[in-house]
Amino acid sequence: MTNPNPDLLAFEGELKRASKDIHERCGVDLNILWDDGKYRMTGATHEVKVWNGLGTVHFRIGHGDLMERGNAYRLFLEKVASEVRQKLVVQTS
Range 40-62 average pLDDT: 90
Q: Is 59 or 13 the better-scoring residue by pLDDT? A: 59
Q: Mean pLDDT in the chain?
A: 89
Walk across the sheet containing 31-34 and list its strands.
31-34, 45-52, 55-62
- 3-state SS string for 13-32: HHHHHHHHHHHHHHCCCCEE
| CA nearest neighbour of 76 among 26, 40, 11 | 26
Report whether pLDDT(84) > 50: yes
Does pLDDT of 42 surpass 70?
no
pTM of the model: 0.86
Q: What integer is the mean pLDDT of 38-61? A: 89
Helix (H, G, I), strand (E, B) or coil at 3: coil
Residue 41's pLDDT is 66
β-strands 55-62, 31-34 pairing: unpaired
Tell me what pLDDT residue 5 has.
Answer: 63
Cβ partners under 8 Å of residue 22, min gap 6: 30, 32, 50, 77, 80, 81
Half-sphere exposure of 1 (CA within 13 A, CB side): 2
Taking the domains of the chain in order of start, what are their residue ranges?
6-87
pLDDT, position 86: 94
The residue-averaged pLDDT of 64-86 equals: 96
